[in-house]
Homo-oligomer: A and B are copies of this chain.
Amino acid sequence: MTAVSSPLISVAIVEDDEGIRESLAAFLGRARGVRCTAVYSNAEDALREFKIQTPDVVLMDINLPGMSGIDATRELKQLRPDARILMLTVYEDNKALFDSLKAGACGYLLKRTASDKIVAAIREAREGGMPLTPRMASKVAAYFQNKDTVGGELDKLSQRERRTLELLSEGFLYKEIAEKMGISYLTVHQYTKHIYEKLHVHSRTEAVVKYLRH
């Protein structure tokens, strides 16, 4: 709104598959309002160039030979905090999505996304938006619902589960916890299953990290 509407948004592509890279570039060349200023087949080359000149928006593949697109995103954001990076990948992968956002990507698209949607996403990214597929968006929403209720999640634990988590956080083995709490090893086992379920985690370490962040 307040931004000066620049005539052209410069876009760089980082993508190892030559076919995809070229067709993307060609397509951006025909699109109005955007200009494809550079293409790279790997993250290292791209980063080197970006130190000299950074485009408005980067379309970044995740699976790259050598450095991953996510690591590259992290580095680029460190170098240019206002860089706008759109992840472009084939998988609708939960972890990749969140890792990308944590690394500093501003959006996450699937390669099978229709071309005109990609241009729209580039504009949206430029304007500070967060272009995501609807499904991705709902995952992000769900994530923050959890995020906001981390304390709330802990509240869902019963007394004994909380105590168990406390001891888990101190690194005790199940059998040691059982001894300390005067219950069976199997009960401790059961508690941890409940804890993981309630905290939406899949390992002791993840549970402990949530717990230690109160």
Mark A residues whose CB is within 8 Å of B: 66, 68, 95, 168-173, 176, 180, 182, 201-206, 208-209, 212
Contacts and interface: CB of A to CB of B under 8 A. Distances in A.
* Number of copies of this kind of chain in the complex: 2
Contacts of A202: 171
Contacts of A180: 68
Contact of A209 (B68, B171, B203): B171
Contacts of A68: 180
A180 B70 CA distance: 10
Contacts of A204: 204-205
A171 B212 contact: no
A169 B203 CA distance: 11
B205 A169 contact: yes
B205 A168 contact: yes
Contact of A205 (B95, B182, B208): B208
Contacts of A168: 205
Contacts of A205: 168-171, 204-205, 208
A95 B66 CA distance: 44
A48 to B, nearest CB: 19
A18 to B, nearest CB: 20
